[in-house]
Amino acid sequence: MAYPQAASSSTTSGSPPTVKVILTETDLQRVVDRIAHQILEKTDGADGTVLLGIPTRGVPLARRLASRIAAFESVDVPVGVLDVTLYRDDLRLKATRAIGPTDLPPGGIDGRRVILVDDVLFSGRTVRAALDALSDLGRPSSVQLAVIVDRGHRELPIRADYVGKNIPTARAEIVKVALAEIDGLDEVKLLGEETK
């Protein structure tokens, strides 16, 4: 997921950006457990449900949710990967991106409830791209969204069905999600603007 970049300065007159830990490893585990319980409650035990992780950090989060759902209810929820690169509306504005794999679980998505999983919900444009990608892959019965952090500043009428934490942010701030599978640790930080 793309985040706004903090302005860089060639001078040393400003202080470094402030860093605030929003979720610790324990907090993140609790959030994943809570979302897993909510999914079970809102989907009648996750019957007919598929979790699709949006790369990069949405993929391990989807796998964690499936693991916790299995631990709570002994239900195996299929997990897949949905790469949205070619569906993004900012391709011509940013550097070339590598296209990642899209890996649908056996049985596909037709007639099933698809829960898209991502780390941070910001403008909503990544989710819009995911919805476009889904329409080329099949016809789910419904689509829901689970995110660890909703930071506001939506540019499209998109909302999450499952939210770990709502964090009010300034547009120039950066929410940085770190996951052990990718980054070696579990943590969510809010990086503030440089102070002058």
Q: Is 99 part of any domain?
A: yes
Q: What contacts 18, CB < 8 A, 6 or more positions away?
A: 191, 192, 193, 195
123 inside domain? yes
Q: Is residue 92 part of a domain?
A: yes
- The CATH number given to whatever domain includes residue 71 is 3.40.50.2020
In-domain check, residue 103: yes
pTM attached to this predicted model: 0.88
Q: How far apart are CA 112 and CA 138, in angstroms?
A: 10
Specify the number of domains making up the chain: 1
Say if 110 falls within a structural domain.
yes
User: Has residue 157 been placed in a domain?
Assistant: yes
- Under DSSP, the state recorded for 105 is P
CA–CA dist 97, 89 (Å, integer): 13
Domain annotation covers residue 195:
no
Task: Answer whether residue 9 shows pLDDT above 50.
Answer: no
Residue 93 confidence class, pLDDT cut points 50, 70, 90: low
Is position 191 within any domain?
no
List pLDDT tens digits, range 43-59: 999 999 999 999 999 99
Which residue range is the domain that position 57 belongs to? 24-169
Provide mean pLDDT across the span 115-134.
97
Q: Read off the pLDDT of residues 18-77 as tens digits, 9 standing for 90 and up.
A: 999 999 999 999 999 999 999 999 999 999 999 999 999 999 999 999 999 999 999 999
Residue 89 pLDDT class (50, 70, 90 cuts) = confident
Q: What average pLDDT score do residues 99-110 get? A: 92
Q: Is the confidence at residue 4, as pLDDT, over 60?
A: no
